[in-house]
Amino acid sequence: MSETSVREAEIAVEQKHVDMVYARVAEMRDEARAMRTRGDELAHGARNEAVFEQAAMLFERDVMVRHANQILRSLDAEHEGLVFGRLDTTEGETMYVGRLGVRDSEFENLVTDWRAPAAAPFYQATAEMPMAVIRRRVIRSTGQSVVDIDDDLLMPESRQDSMPVVGEGALMASLTRARGENMRDIVATIQKEQDEAIRAPWRGVTEITGGPGTGKTAVALHRVAYLLYRDRKRMGGSGVLVIGPSPAFTSYISRVLPSMGEDTVELRSLSDVLDGVAATRVDPAPVAAVKGSLRMRRVLKRAIREAPADAPTELRIMYRGEVLKLDARELAKVRAAVHNGRRPPNQSRVDAAEALLDALWRKADSYEDFPVKRAELLTELGERIDFHRFVVVWWQLLSPAEVLRGLADRRHLARAAGRVLTRSEVDMLADSWADPSVGFTAADVALLDELRVLLGKPPKRRRRAEHDPFAPAPTGRHREHYDEYSHIVVDEAQDLSPMQWRMVGRRGKYASWTVVGDPVQSSWPDPPEAAQAREAAFGGPRTQHRRFGLRTNYRNSAEIFDLAGRVVRHVATEDQLPHAVRSTGVEPTIHVVDFDALTATAVDSARELLGVVDGTVGIITATSRVEPMRLAADAVGNSRIRVVDGLESKGLEYDAVVLVEPEEMVTESLTGPRTLYVALTRATQRLTVVTSDANWPG
């Protein structure tokens, strides 16, 4: 038989099995529908144990069918197969691996869930350690049709003639496929080093590091699916939170977990971790560096002790014919004493009122010929409406947003900053908050969350208008209890500022963690401070920690990564650079043009690349160039073109990239060279660099 007809015959064999699986799933759906009704009746009318048991069984079946439906719904949209793997073992057994475990009516396994222990050899068997697997087969389908198969022969000596081997490797086939709007799952081709990290135990902190394109994000998401499957009670109950660097990133990865049937996981970017605040901007790097540093905690703590700008500076009240007066200094003393109390300010208004009454009594007591009883004064003044009015304006309940906006007042900020910030840092921050119409930044979100805790929750009655992070109807499930997640994944962890680690840590007080990053791609200027905050977020140095390093770059062609590696050679050591496995034979193109022609040439290059690749084309520039570049790119009118800056491109990938004026990216921030490394490692197939520097890359 020719190679083609062997392949076709094998595809037909697998199609038969796949048909059987889908038929069985359809049957189960029907059964479940009928049984659900009957299950309800049984559960309600249960009179003896046997009936209870039957009802429980039906319930389990029901859960499983719901899971199947979820997966099938997403499969319908994604056109990926339910069954994607097959193992043939030395025991003469055949096992199919898929996104879901399915048994036939006799309870025989038709497909094993990829996350089950029995499926582990599908990912872990190698020619050196074959784990009794003779042949591993990856089955590629579109919808319910098998379109191709790819085999790995692990034990050639055990193969019999009746076991054909076809294909050139599923991994390469998968890596060369065009990239679209969303990241895809990699269940069919997870590699051994990745599988080890995916299946690591849930406890403590699991840290996954690796260079660009090593599959860190993919691994972290598959690990979530694995943990949910293995320990649904613990993980599913209070939820899993996945945190990524930007809304563009969360949108990019949003289909991966649903395609594995998991649609309960919360995905949030660092700018929308706090309900009710959606940051729309990022700060310039030097401003973000100040806002992210732990020094801000001291500034904020002092800021909330200050009297609000519009608070009265004197209290005058008539009592039994005498004027009792507290001046600014006396009021400040009372305020400081209340702040030193046990409760946060938003829960201290009653304490403030009591402290004021006490100060008034001491004042009255100091007057000669003015006999007053303490208890009487407290009761009488405490019930007076003018006193209440004073307390309300003097001890205001504040929202985090109000406090932060208040810091736009340079003098107020300088007082709160004391010696913690330099004068130019104070100027930078005050400027960044000066215009209330522009909305908060990603770095502000961590400050707002810090303030949320420092201020405390206001009493329930209080209603506030806009600008209040608590006011808009929040959509997340965790708006009241931010600290109850059972597992938190932090992607691009190298970029979290210390203040962001505090914000994230607050949400994981009782959680286990999967933390993913690449120190070489870091854009945070003070790594030791961030490391300290990060350890605190995990619960201190005694927390169990396991580490995995990924060494293979699956994204970039070897030609593209070679150029990226040269550019970062002075910020990365040799062993921090992964090995790119796939060669396209196409070197990156470098266009040297006049400075004035950069934008036009970049658009022309992007247009040209549209004709070369099937998927997306990213234009990556310095932040200052994004707007004009977007305008120019819009004129092409093709939705496959995206314009982003270096930081926004984190975690994303495109079939082709046009990188505009790399030197601008380098000089834009302290960590410019690392941002350039990120930008250079986004393309799977083609890279064009447009520069005005004839010597680039030097």
Query: Which residues form the interface with ligand ATP (CB under 6 A)?
Result: 171, 174-175, 183-184, 186, 189-191, 194, 210, 212-218, 518, 554-555, 651, 653, 681
Whichever of 70 and 522 has its CB closer to ligand ATP, that residue is 522
Vertex 670 angle, CA 669 and 675, to 5°: 65
Whichever of 399 and 556 has its CB closer to ligand ATP, that residue is 556
Q: Name the β-bridge partners of 86.
A: 96, 137
Task: Please give the backbone phi and psi of residue 450, each rounded to the nearest 5 degrees, phi first.
Answer: -60, -45
Phi-psi region of 261 (alpha: psi -120 to 50; beta: other; left: phi over 0): left
Residue nearest to ligand ATP (CB): 215
Q: How far is the CB of 420 from ligand ATP (least distance, A)?
A: 34
Q: How far is the CB of 657 from ligand ATP (least distance, A)?
A: 12
Q: How far is the CB of 181 from ligand ATP (least distance, A)?
A: 13
Q: Residue 659: in which H helix or E strand, if any?
A: strand 654-660
Q: How far is the CB of 578 from ligand ATP (least distance, A)?
A: 8
211 is in an annotated binding site: yes
Whichever of 221 and 357 has its CB closer to ligand ATP, that residue is 221
Q: Residue 378: in which H helix or E strand, if any?
A: helix 374-382
Q: Is residue 326 within 8 Å of 363, Cβ to Cβ?
A: yes
| C-alpha span between 510 and 496 (Å, rounded) | 20
| C-alpha span between 681 and 646 (Å, rounded) | 11
Q: Is residue 556 within 8 Å of 683, Cβ to Cβ?
A: yes
Q: How far is the CB of 214 from ligand ATP (least distance, A)?
A: 4
CA atoms within 13 A on the CB side of 382: 17
Q: How far is CA 339 from the centre of its chain?
A: 36
Q: How far is the CB of 190 from ligand ATP (least distance, A)?
A: 5
| C-alpha span between 591 and 466 (Å, rounded) | 50
Whichever of 191 and 621 has its CB closer to ligand ATP, that residue is 191
Q: How far is the CB of 586 from ligand ATP (least distance, A)?
A: 18
Q: How far is the CB of 179 from ligand ATP (least distance, A)?
A: 7
Whichever of 10 and 491 has its CB closer to ligand ATP, that residue is 491
Whichever of 444 and 492 has its CB closer to ligand ATP, that residue is 492
Q: How far is CA 571 from the centre of its chain?
A: 26
Whichever of 259 and 688 has its CB closer to ligand ATP, that residue is 259
Whichever of 98 and 212 has its CB closer to ligand ATP, that residue is 212
618 is in an annotated binding site: no
Order of strands across the sheet that contains 240-244 = 266-269, 240-244, 487-490, 512-517, 205-210, 545-550
Q: What is the CA radius of gyration of the chain?
A: 31
CA atoms within 13 A on the CB side of 227: 30
Structure tokens at 496: 């979290």
Under DSSP, is residue 59 helix (H, G, I), strand (E, B) or coil?
helix
Q: How far is the CB of 132 from ligand ATP (least distance, A)?
A: 22
Which residue type does 327 have? D
Q: Is residue 504 within 8 Å of 538, Cβ to Cβ?
A: no
Closest CA to 348 of 454, 274, 451: 454
291 is in an annotated binding site: no
216 is in an annotated binding site: yes
Give start and end residues of each alpha helix (H) in 635-683. 662-668, 672-680
Residue 428, number of CB atoms within 10 A of its CB: 18
CA atoms within 13 A on the CB side of 200: 24
Q: How far is the CB of 216 from ligand ATP (least distance, A)?
A: 3
215 is in an annotated binding site: yes
Sign of the C-alpha dihedral computed for residues 567, 573, 578 and 579 taken in this order: positive
276 is in an annotated binding site: no
Residue 496, number of CB atoms within 10 A of its CB: 27
Q: Is residue 31 within 8 Å of 103, Cβ to Cβ?
A: no
Q: How far is the CB of 647 from ligand ATP (least distance, A)?
A: 12
217 is in an annotated binding site: yes
Whichever of 406 and 646 has its CB closer to ligand ATP, that residue is 646
Contacts of 178 (CB under 8 A, 6+ apart): 613, 614, 615, 655
Whichever of 256 and 426 has its CB closer to ligand ATP, that residue is 256
Q: How far is the CB of 268 from ligand ATP (least distance, A)?
A: 17
Task: Please give the backbone phi and psi of residue 369, each rounded to the nearest 5 degrees, phi first.
Answer: 55, 35
Cα–Cα distances (Å) from 215 to 31, 188, 203, 382, 518, in that order, read: 39, 14, 22, 64, 11
180 is in an annotated binding site: no
| Annotated binding-site members for ATP | 210-217
* Annotated binding-site positions: 210-217
